[in-house]
């Protein structure tokens, strides 16, 4: 799978590098950058991964991102719903600014703040595992949001060892990319996105 993903990345690296570069640059912009990278880019990532995995010809920007806007909107709505869980745990926003502010003013004990942060992190990890393939079911099969949630959870639980192993490898690859002053992420992010689409295609077949 990873060898096939690398071959496909070599064919479609320009758009992949541009996409990951834009995401990394936006991450440095307070609030707006965080919103875009958290809510919008997962949809674009899934679309790129699927198209790059399946296409044997060069991809254009509009062929990936502009032809299925209504489908992508469904994915976005689901991602917003998913992000609500850790946000509820920490108040407003997964960064916990309100609770952190209370702690700095002496209104919250440090242990409670740490527990809330750990719970939010745990919820994020669990949701990432269960809903790893959620966007693909909508983009690839045209499912509604609820059906895509159910299908992704079923796929992850049925193939838990494979998904967890893949998850660990992807994290390791992107950590290696981050060690190269972050520049390596321009390659590792789109490469692992294509591999993720390949995993979905293999498990959902």
Number of Cβ within 10 Å of residue 9's Cβ equals: 21
When mean pLDDT is compared across 18-22, 87-91, 175-179, 181-185, the lowest value belongs to 87-91
What does the pLDDT read at residue 89? Answer: 57
What does the pLDDT read at residue 86? Answer: 65
Would you say residue 201 has pLDDT above 90?
Answer: yes
What does the pLDDT read at residue 40? Answer: 82
Average pLDDT in the chain? 82
Place of tokens 């674009």: 44
d(CA 67, CA 192): 23
What does the pLDDT read at residue 193? Answer: 94
Residues 13-24, mean pLDDT to the nearest whole number: 91
The most confident of 35-49, 60-74, 85-99, by mean pLDDT: 35-49
What's the pLDDT tens digit per position in 144-164? 999 999 999 999 999 999 999
d(CA 83, CA 81): 6
Would you say residue 90 has pLDDT above 60?
Answer: no
What does the pLDDT read at residue 191? Answer: 96
**DSSP character for 183?**
T
What does the pLDDT read at residue 85? Answer: 66
What's the pLDDT tens digit per position in 26-66? 888 887 887 788 778 888 899 899 999 988 777 777 777 76
More confident position, 22 or 100: 22
What does the pLDDT read at residue 198? Answer: 94
Would you say residue 129 has pLDDT above 70?
Answer: yes
d(CA 190, CA 50): 11
What does the pLDDT read at residue 174? Answer: 92
Judge whether 117 and 90 are in contact, CB under 8 Å.
yes
Judge whether 162 and 151 are in contact, CB under 8 Å.
no
d(CA 185, CA 130): 24
CA angle 30, 20, 45 (to 5 degrees): 100
State the helix-helix crossing angle for 2-11 and 13-26, rounded to 10 degrees: 90
State the helix-helix crossing angle for 134-141 and 69-90, rounded to 10 degrees: 160
């Amino acid at each position: 799978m990873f060898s096939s993903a690398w071959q496909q990345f070599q064919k479609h690296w320009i758009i992949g590098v541009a996409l990951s570069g834009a995401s990394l640059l936006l991450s440095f912009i307070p609030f707006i950058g965080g919103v875009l990278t958290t809510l919008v880019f997962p949809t674009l990532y899934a679309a790129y991964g699927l198209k790059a995995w399946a296409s044997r010809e060069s991809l254009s920007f509009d062929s990936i991102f502009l032809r299925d806007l209504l489908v992508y909107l469904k994915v976005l709505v689901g991602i917003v719903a998913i992000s609500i869980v850790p946000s509820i745990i920490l108040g407003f926003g997964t960064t916990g600014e309100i609770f952190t502010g209370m702690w700095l003013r002496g209104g919250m004990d440090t242990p409670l703040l740490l527990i809330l942060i750990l719970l939010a992190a745990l919820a994020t990890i669990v949701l990432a595992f269960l809903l790893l393939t959620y966007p693909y079911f909508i983009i690839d099969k045209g499912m509604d949001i609820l059906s895509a949630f159910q299908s992704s959870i079923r796929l992850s639980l049925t193939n838990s060892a494979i998904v967890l192993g893949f998850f660990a490898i992807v994290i390791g690859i992107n950590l290696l990319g981050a060690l190269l002053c972050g520049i390596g992420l321009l390659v590792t992010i789109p490469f692992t996105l294509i591999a993720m689409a390949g995993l979905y295609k293999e498990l959902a077949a």
